[in-house]
Structures are given as structure tokens and as C-alpha cells.
Amino acid sequence: MTESAATFTNPGEDELIHVIRQYAQLTESVSPGTAGWRHPSQYHLLLEHGRRFTAMPSPPDLVGMPDRLCYSNAARYARAHRSEGLLYAEGLALTHEGLDFHLPHAWVVRSDGAVLDPTWNDAPGRAYIGVAVTDMDLWPYDGGGLLSDFERALPLMRDGIPDGVLADVGRPL
């Protein structure tokens, strides 16, 4: 892990974790139908498996992809750069300074946990909390996130994440 990605601290990450915990508590109070599920919501899944990823300025050669298509953008960018060890990642991100939104989002991560964001390349987010997925068959090339699309998220929440699907990159929550 590079020094910059390993030691970088970001108060926005703690803010995102706080928001994820609030969403998880809200879900518990309104969704009793998920009793017995491995993860009652995608927020519970993020609290158990999520990692902190290091927000970095975009490299000059990162050409932006279409807005509002972060899931397919990240999946396609990771696939195109797989030989460089890039992985698809998804979770919540805190937008750039001045906009201040916590949004479901997808991005690409390097093996050191640093973020490359092909959608927000002009103004990368300030914080990223999520999971890095190694199984390319799960990457949502057609859009719709792994955690935000119900059909994709349901088996992961109900049954749990299969062994070997998540990469051990980024920093623990």
C-alpha cells in the first residue's frame, strides 16, 4: 500500500459512516420483514464489509464518462483497466466541497485503496465508503448498482456475500 493512500485521513469518511449507521437504524425500525436475513439492508452490509477508500485527485489521463451512469461507468472502466489491477467498488460517496451530498455511487479502486472516479473525474468526491468487488460477473455493466438495484442486492442481503467476492483493499471502517 502506498504511503499516501495508507495514511490519508478524511473527516468526510467519518461523516459517511455516521450517515450509513443512521440509515441502518432507520431500516431496522421500518423493515421488520428482513428478520433472519444476513444483512437487513445494504447499509448493514456496508457496516459489516465496507471499507474506507482514499479520495485522490483525478489523474490527467482519466477521461470523464457520462454523468448519472456511475455504476456502468465504473464497471466498464475497471474492466478496460483490469490488467492494471483496478476493481469495481460501490457504496456511498460524499460529493465535492460545496455540494455536500451523500449519494449511492460507484467508482474504481486501485490495489492501494485509492479511488479513480470515472464519473466525477472533474471534481472527485471527498470521501468514499463501500466494497470492492473482485467477481467481474457481478459488476453492473448495464447500470443499476450492485447494492442499489433490488434484484442484485436481494441475494447479497438475504444470503450474504459469497466468499472471495470482495477484495481486501482500502482501510477498515
pLDDT one-digit tens code per residue, 86-96 = 999 999 999 98
pLDDT value of residue 158: 96
**Cα 17 from Cα 128, distance rounded (Å):** 10
pLDDT value of residue 7: 57
Higher pLDDT, 100 or 164: 164
pLDDT value of residue 164: 96
pTM: 0.92
- Percent of the chain, pLDDT > 90? 72
Helix (H/G/I), strand (E/B), else coil: 148: coil
Nearest C-alpha neighbor of 71 from the set 129, 153, 140: 140
The pLDDT of 74-83, averaged and rounded, is 96
Name the residue with cell 450509513. 20
Asked whether the beta carbons of 91 and 77 are under 8 A apart, the reply is no
